[in-house]
Structure 1
């Protein structure tokens, strides 16, 4: 039975019956706070006249349904409209009442508490266009779109294409007609509407592209348009030159929207961003600017890869996301001032891939997607960061010039069409002259991450031999995969107080053991770094001499990307239980004191926190917490006034504070005790909530803070703060609200984050059974985004014990044995993380 979880086989069967030509979508957004009215007119061919099929439609009720001028009974079940026998050419007219969302799916409605203005935005990936208009909601059914709206007359209305005409309807309403689109997929159509404020510019390249930046009226004062526009123009110039094809659409608007589940979405010409990704209402470090730049370029890359040329089905989701991820870091590092962007990728994004790729739920980059339920779970570190790393490896494998030539041919041949992986590989093979079948088979069709270790034989103080040992992945169990790697191996020497690269040699690594012949007879280095320059995807390990060098000189290594690789390897060794949490912290803290790259500092502080609460043996935790808090406080005290490091260490200190004096100091910092540290809205809430979780502040204090920040952000942090109160009663209220109340997606997620804090393990242990008891009910009664967030963020991650693992396993084996793939995967991955934590704690004991 078709529904919101459409299966690939159903989509294939439907595409054998129909081919869509066009949609006309007429929206009335003035019909109330709960529902909107929409009339959809679809013109499509019936490839098998006389056959029947269905159209996707989620809403409250169908008002009328006509096929080729004749009324019919739609047999509407809330998700699907069933069609009568089709003609060779068809005109379908559906009028229905849609339902506004507060979960970030479909057409989301938000009321700004600052001024009571209403804001709407759409989010349609993967299959939620049906939540706004009736459609054949699958990526291969591309069509043209003509969208119109009726709205309050003071609203801004933004869609994929420019406004063609407007008309005053009286009664403070207006009609807006947008220009008819080119051929695009349903999931990249969009409407954004409300009292938005905007700034405009244009990019003049191969053609002139109008640019717009939009944000809520009350939030617009925080927009730093100059930087956003500069980065946007740099992206257009880079991609036009690299892809050999001008931006294929018309205008290019970027809109900051409230209550967004994702970082951003590549709607054609109408890119929506999580507000806090695009706009900073308080001081942030350069890491946030790098992240914003890569997100801007990521969505822009999708205009070519995803929007212009679109996957046939979601099996090739990774191609969309991996390509955009790779292209964004490449373009940002080569076209903007953020030349060290790949360091941020290695420190934050690639670590995500390594973590996901070592779970029992790991999967190949290119994998079958049976249905949309499976697709939703694969917006993960494998589809994004591992795929981008593997594309980086493919570039090294075929050569950059050949890779770009293949891409250009691919875009030119398949513009406005749908493709599969084979279509791209065909063009890369033609450009490079290489048979990529073996490469695709091992890198894209198998799962897991290999480990690379140096094997060194010395002749005095020179290398008799230096080889690279490749180990098979630990997951999936039974893997025998040894992959080909095109990579660099670097030798680094201590020179005075610095650690400096002596040389770096590129070679092909294959099989279980590969000798680096270029190093035979060379003087032994202080540090050997496999995968120097980060061209491949593998876990890295080090010899004893290199480990000793890292302990003394990691912070003084003169290359941020090389340092990032080493930091990532240290963290991975800790997660694997090869390096105890105690030893990891002992290495990390001295190196962190001298670490200049703020992305590495940010990532490492987060990893130290996880090491403390998940990987340290409980008997060591108190001493380690004091060691960490004392060290970070000392880093804060010597940080340059007003610097990124001062801000990051202030947050790190507040998060790790443990002694009464340190907790009192949080109060002092909130009062402005540190010169150069501006206590703006975001930092104030961060410091305050750190105090709340320790019991330093209570409900009366939370109310005072809410009175100071009567914004959407203030409401979010207030919800989080109440859930952070370290009492059984506060936790019970939060748990009940999270699992039963009709909360917006953002308030819900902030409550989850406040509830589940490692400092409150003793209290949280009382909620383990309740969590497993309520899972199925939440999944049945809430939308996917809210349900998935509940399952993920409420999992008793900090009640780390064999008993919790057994309860998770019992749920998987008994209670939830027939649960959806998405829910079971969430519990499987959370269970895996806890098993890993127990292993690491044993290693730390």
Structure 2
């Protein structure tokens, strides 16, 4: 095993012998415009019961190690710096200093450096979770060794310089300025942070109960005109008030900066006092209400981490859910309760649970409280189980113990463990004390098992129904009863069931005339819903007439899951979407339905019928675009759907070109902004209707970083064997590609589903993935392994690789197994389709 891949056992042993008190960091990025590396040093004060330990650092060099004023020989294997000469006495405070040079990153791991093509400016920011703090400064790379951190950064004089704490000093130095920041309260290393560059800043204030808190919203200067800081600050103030009151601890980290950064490899990161977000949340063009809600949800998710994760932190990554499941739940809960987005639970039912259901059916699924033996496993567990399934079962838990008791328990938890580390029993104890309930059976059933239950109803004689569950767990299920009345499905009552039986006869009789029997109508439980045939027919005809958006989300999810399982024909699913999507007024549900329709054609339709269905879907999307309400979210959603459909079928190429060139009128109210232009142009490129000259011309109109990324995708999308071969080679071999640029090339390779252009690379893929895993960072390697997996018509190559690479790293095998499962599902569902 690589020394970079820290294990749970060895870090636990290290923590048992070390008491870390402070870390003083000094970074020098004055040469960021030209240098490949930067000077970095960390000084630790600690107590030790052993004579030696190690400190983590991955960089260009380790130049000096000093222990209690004595220089020591540098013993560094590229990941661990051996520290000797410690006094094995917990009463003795040791001082250890390590100086070296770190390397700038383009993969979003460590200190990421980005040059803005719009104005030539350079920006830096850090991203550490779970274990990339060691790429920037020496540290103890484990969450249970917290410290008070003092940060200093030397940077060009004109740049903004930020860290977790407030700036306390700024002095001129040769070629720049040295900025020092206030000492933090105890923090784990992975949530420390630095950002510097000519960022644009908007200031604000939150009037908290303990006095005003300074707020900041930042982005690159070239994006300043798109930054809707007022809305972001409004959501921020609402959230800080809500969480401070709900958790009984006022926001504890001083100032609160939120910075939108380029090429980040996650949606956001909860560094206290300096939260980083993907700048895709800075909308350059038209954005739907669902996009605004999604941004607010992420803001509130990261804010919840200020308590769940930052104030109280899991001891090791087994309990990653202690922060991510809670933050995912709190993001939706706070968006509804305080954020001004009352439909957030609708989006949760459709998107987050959909992600969880997919993840939980993979052969590599795991319990919410997972077994994480090492850091590679931790990296891959930021998944739909830890986030969305965990949040789903927390929603059940809140209902089970009561919302008041749940928040009382949370307040007990924070009061007892502030600035410390916890495990599952600590949380359960707090919730049990507050609710008076024994939560051990619930935790055993929901947190320590894996897999998703199937939930259905069977109509039996006498007008009753039976609730049928596979793999039953204790929960409360509400079954909605809907009658068809005047062309609408109207709710006429409900039945409820509690228990753990696989089959339960519901007490009440179903009234006559009930067309739809909908289990989990309120989306409270976590289970895949299967509708009986009578109910499927009812929703095929009248789905869009159901008033309750959550119930519609459950129905849409049920139809999609049935399609993925091969139980509902792709044509029936498409018919339902074609009939009801134009009438869907929740844009999140609409967007999901459109994306699923596209996926159903590309993944699950038989090859001989795919082109027919693709043409039909393009025509449907085109007509819906023409008739959508001008300026509406639905109009924008359909415009994007047209672009996705046009990647596979060129029937509307002339009309799309006409609008892009200004020769044909654009539908009234539709903003043909750069984002939409690139979607349509990439579709034209993928079908051979846009040349390299056309794509270069578009880049001249949009010479931004977003334009540059879209340009890469469009260029690689051209349906020419040599173009795709060159893009394939570039993805694997060009180590200068940033994570976003790599994603752009991969998207081009896969554009239009042109298996005829990429099938020759199947064997090459399996020859490359293990060397890539060894030679590239896990973030880049993960993108290659997932993004370029062959969508072949056979499992032979992947099975052969798995058989001959039983000794491959467990994290790599997990990714390959997951991709194999997806391909096997695709082939299985295609084979189950009836002929047209």
- Structure 1 length normalisation: TM-score? 0.96
Q: Which residue, out of 720, 723, 727, partners 1:727?
A: 720
**Does the Cα contact within 8 Å between 1:756 and 1:796 map onto a contact in 2?**
no
Aligned residues: 822
Provide the secondary structure at the position in 1 that maps to 2:141.
coil
1:422 and 2:418 matched: no
342-351 or 663-672: bigger deviation? 663-672
3-state secondary structure, aligned to 1:504: strand
Report the equivalent of 2:549.
560
Do structure 1's residue 224 and structure 2's residue 213 form an aligned pair?
no
1:588-667 equivalence runs, <5 A: 588-657=577-646, 661-667=651-657
Question: Could you tell me which residue of structure 1 aligns to residue 280 of structure 2?
Answer: 276
1:20 maps to what in 2? 20
**TM-superposed deviation, 1:759:** 3.0
Structure 1 stretch 67-76 or stretch 307-316: which is displaced more? Answer: 67-76
Whether 1:579 aligns to 2:568 is yes
CA contact (8 A) 1:581 1:840 kept: no
Q: State the shift of 1:628 in Å.
A: 1.3
In 1, Cα distance between equivalents of 2:48 and 2:340: 53
Given that 2:496 and 2:506 are in contact with CA atoms closer than 8 Å, whether structure 1 keeps it comes out as no
Secondary structure (helix, strand or coil) at the match of 1:164 reads: strand
Q: 1:766 aligns with which of 728, 748, 760?
A: 760
Cα distance between partner residues in 1 of 2:2 and 2:719: 46
Give the structure 2 partner of residue 42 of structure 1: 44
**How many Å apart are 1:74 and its aligned residue?**
2.2
Q: CA offset at residue 120 of structure 1?
A: 0.4
Matched, 1:433 2:427: no
Shift of 1:769: 1.0
Deviation at 1:660, TM superposition (A): 5.1
- Over 3 Å counting, the alpha-carbon distance change for 1:492 and 1:264 in structure 2 is same
Note the C-alpha offset of 1:524.
4.4
| 1:359-758 equivalence runs, <5 A | 359-459=362-462, 463=463, 465-472=464-471, 482-517=472-507, 519-520=508-509, 522-657=511-646, 661-670=651-660, 671=662, 672-742=665-735, 743-758=737-752
In 2, Cα distance between the equivalents of 1:669 and 1:290? 30
Distance 1:509 1:528 in 2: 19
1:313 aligns with 2:316: yes
- Give the corresponding residue for 1:358: 361
2:283 aligned with 1:290, yes or no? no
Q: Which moved more, 1:766-775 or 1:153-162?
A: 766-775
Deviation of residue 531 (structure 1)? 0.9
1:127 corresponds to 2:136 = no
What is the distance in 1 between the residues matched to 2:331 and 2:113?
30
Structure 1 residue 336, shift from structure 2 partner = 2.6
Q: Distance in 2 between matches of 1:418 and 1:564?
A: 37
Q: Does 1:116 align with 2:110?
A: no
Aligned residue in 2 for 1:107: 111
Give distance in 2, aligned partners of 1:568 and 1:704.
Answer: 41
Normalising by structure 2, report the TM-score: 0.97
Unaligned residue ranges in structure 1 (runs of 5+):
473-481
For 2:202, the equivalent position in structure 1 comes to 199
CA contact (8 A) 2:24 2:43 kept: yes
> Does the CA-based 8 Å contact 2:300-2:334 persist in structure 1?
yes
**Offset at residue 272 of structure 1 (A):** 0.3
Q: Can you list the C-alpha shifts for 1:792-833, whole angstroms capped at 9, x where unaligned?
A: 101113x3x12xx1101111111x322212211111111100
Aligned to 1:475: none
Give secondary structure in 1 for the equivalent of 2:740. Answer: helix
Q: Is the 8 A contact 2:104 2:113 kept in 1?
A: yes
- How far apart, CA to CA, are the structure 2 residues paired with 1:651 and 1:637? 13
| Match 2:334 to one of 331, 344, 348 | 331
Measured at CA, do residues 14 and 676 of structure 1 come closer, stay the same or move farther in structure 2, by a change above 3 Å? same
Tell me how far apart the structure 2 counterparts of residues 708 and 662 of structure 1 sit (CA, whole Å): 23
Aligned counterparts of 2:39 and 2:776: Cα–Cα separation in 1: 23
- 8 Å CA contact 2:650, 2:684 repeated in 1: no
Q: Is the 8 A contact 1:468 1:509 kept in 2?
A: no
What secondary structure sits across from 1:181 in the alignment?
coil
Conserved in 1, the CA contact under 8 Å of 2:29 and 2:38?
yes
Q: What CA RMSD, in Å, does the superposition of the two structures yield over aligned residues?
A: 1.4
| Structure 1 residue 516: Cα displacement | 2.4
Matching residue of 2:35:
33
Following superposition, the deviation at residue 142 of structure 1 comes to 0.3
Segment of structure 1 superposing worse, 433-442 or 326-335: 433-442
CA contact (8 A) 1:2 1:80 kept: no
Residue of structure 2 in register with 1:7 after alignment: 7
The answer for the alignment partner of 1:476 in structure 2 is none
Alpha-carbon deviations, 1:197-220, whole Å to 9, x = none? 100111113232211000011111
SS for the counterpart of 2:806 is coil
Q: Which moved more, 1:398-407 or 1:287-296?
A: 398-407
Shift of 1:521: 5.9
Alpha-carbon shift at residue 504 of structure 1 (Å): 3.4
Structure 1 segment 771-786 matched on structure 2, within 5 A: 771-786=765-780
Contact 2:649 2:687 in 1 (8 A): no
* 1:323 aligned counterpart, secondary structure: helix
Distance 2:315 2:27 in 1: 28
**Runs of 4+, deviation exceeding 4 Å:** 658-661
Q: C-alpha deviations, 1:399-423, integer Å up to 9, x for none?
A: 2221111111101110110000110
- Is the counterpart of residue 214 in structure 1 residue 232 in structure 2? no
Is the contact made by 1:405 and 1:431 (CA closer than 8 Å) also made in structure 2? yes
SS of the equivalent of 2:382 reads coil
Aligned to 2:803: 813
Q: Secondary structure at the match of 1:81?
A: strand
What is the match of residue 248 of structure 2? Answer: 244
SS at match of 1:532: coil
1: distance between equivalents of 2:428 and 2:247? 16
Larger displacement relative to structure 2 (762-771 or 482-491): 482-491
Alpha-carbon distance in 2 for matches of 1:698, 1:636 = 26
Aligned pair in 2 of structure 1 residues 840, 457: CA closer, same or farther (>3 Å)?
same
Q: In 2, distance between residues paired with 1:740 and 1:303?
A: 40
Shift of 1:386: 0.5
- Is 1:175 equivalent to 2:168 in the alignment? no
Do the aligned residues in 1 keep the contact of 2:577 with 2:594 (CA within 8 Å)? no
Q: In 2, are the aligned partners of 1:396 and 1:486 still within 8 Å (CA)? A: no
Question: How many Å separate the matches in 2 of 1:661 and 1:620?
Answer: 17
- Between the aligned partners of 1:248 and 1:466, the Cα distance in structure 2 is 52
Kept after mapping to 1: 8 A contact 2:615/2:651: no
Deviation of the 1:702 alpha carbon: 1.1
- Is 1:233 matched with 2:224? no
Tell me if the contact between 1:25 and 1:39 (Cα under 8 Å) persists in the aligned partners.
Answer: yes
Match of residue 299 from structure 1: 302
C-alpha distance after superposition, 1:605-625 (max 9, x if no partner): 111111101111112212211
Match of 1:264 among 251, 268, 273: 268
User: In the aligned structure 2, how far is the partner of 1:710 from the partner of 1:521?
Assistant: 62
CA–CA distance in 1 between the matches of 2:135 and 2:649? 52
Per-residue deviation at 1:347? 1.4
Task: Return the offset for 1:253.
Answer: 0.5
Does 2:343 correspond to 1:340? Answer: yes
Cα deviation per residue 1:168-204 (whole Å; 9 max; x = unaligned)?
A: 2254x11111001101110000000000010011111
Q: Aligned partners of 1:811, 1:746: CA distance in 2, in Å?
A: 28
